[in-house]
Every structure is written in structure tokens, then in C-alpha cells.
Amino acid sequence: MRVQKIGIEQIAFEGLPGSGKTCLSKKVSKSLGICRVGEILDPQENEILPADVPNPSLEYFIDSDERKYLLSERLLAKTSVLMDRSYLSTIAYSLCEEDTGIASRALKWKIKFEQNFRQADLYIFLSLPAEKSLARKNKKKNNPHDLWSWIGNLEKTSAFYKRHLQDDPRINCYVIDASRPYLDVLATTERLVKYFL
């Protein structure tokens, strides 16, 4: 884990579904008094649940990610920010699509996005095996409307995160074993965020 402490202001939580990103980012935000930007933002910048997304298309999630990063930039002028998922989750999900046109559009957007938006200073990657991800989210396996209900797609997503977060020397990434008991993961996460902010 390569982590530099200098200039940490924006921390993004990443990991497979069920790894604890939303719950941990909410708890740590509240206990440490740090602003939090939610997983999905509607056009009015209100956080919504994935199940409440009116049009779950690549474009909707791209627009949501751009709203998240614009909100984060405004907040960063005054305070530190915790972000529940980064733009990388949109890319990872898109790469699970059978339609190669969607994956291609997502990769082109990734390049543009990285040129136009400030990246997180630190990623906290909550590591969880694909099988545990499915079990924790209590997902119906192989649901054609949920690409992350397929074990192969979760494994593909894990490989994407490893390549783009853990193995990229330009990225500050700290890995936490999210398969440990929740209170242990919470304590580790709080200590880590407190240390860096």
C-alpha cells in the first residue's frame, strides 16, 4: 500500500457491493464531522438509492458522477470530503456490459473525466470476496437487470479495482479487509480517516 499523507482532502470509498462503503462513509462522516457526498446524486444533488434511479443508463450514472465531483469541488473550498464511490465504479460496472459499445463509451468518458475533474487524494478500498458481496447484498444471482449479481462480473470488477487502484503507482490507496467484523472495519476506517485528515 503506497499512501502519502501530504495534501489529503478528498477521500473516496470503493469496493464491491456489500463491502460497507455507504454505511462506513455515513458513520465516519457523522462521527468525525466531515462532509459526505453520496453514492448517486439526482439532478438536484440529492442522494438517491440505486433502486430509485429512474433511468439506470450509463449516461445517468455519468451525469451523477459529474454532479458528485462538482459538489465535492465546491465543498473542498471549505472542508474535507468523504465520497461514497468514485467515478471508477461507473467504469467498472460498464465493463461488465455485454454491449461493447457501452464499455467503449465508458472508457472514453474516463479519459475525459480524468482530465476535467480532481481525483480523490486517497482511496479507501474495502476488499471483499465476490461470494461475500453476493451474500451480503442478498442478491438474486444472475439477475439480468443487475450486472453485479453475476459472480463473474464481480470478479471482473475486483480485477478492475486492483488494476486501477491498488496497482497504479499514481494512486494513493489503502486497502481494508471488509470481510472482518463490521465494528473492526469501522474502527480501522475511522482511525485511518482521522490520521489523514
Domain 10-196 has CATH 3.40.50.1360: no
What's the chain's average pLDDT? 91
What are the residue ranges spanned by the domains of the chain?
A: 10-196
Cα–Cα distances (Å) from 144 to 7, 63, 69, 84, 140, in that order, read 42, 23, 30, 25, 10
Tens digit of pLDDT for each residue in 141-180? 777 778 888 899 999 999 999 999 999 988 999 999 999 9
Q: Distance between CA atoms of 16 and 187, rounded to whole angstroms?
A: 20
Report the percentage of the chain scoring pLDDT > 70.
95
Residue 196 in this model has a pLDDT that exceeds 80: yes
* Count of Cβ atoms closer than 10 Å to residue 181 Cβ: 8
* Count of Cβ atoms closer than 10 Å to residue 150 Cβ: 18
Tens digit of pLDDT for each residue in 6-44? 568 999 999 999 999 999 999 999 999 999 999 999 999
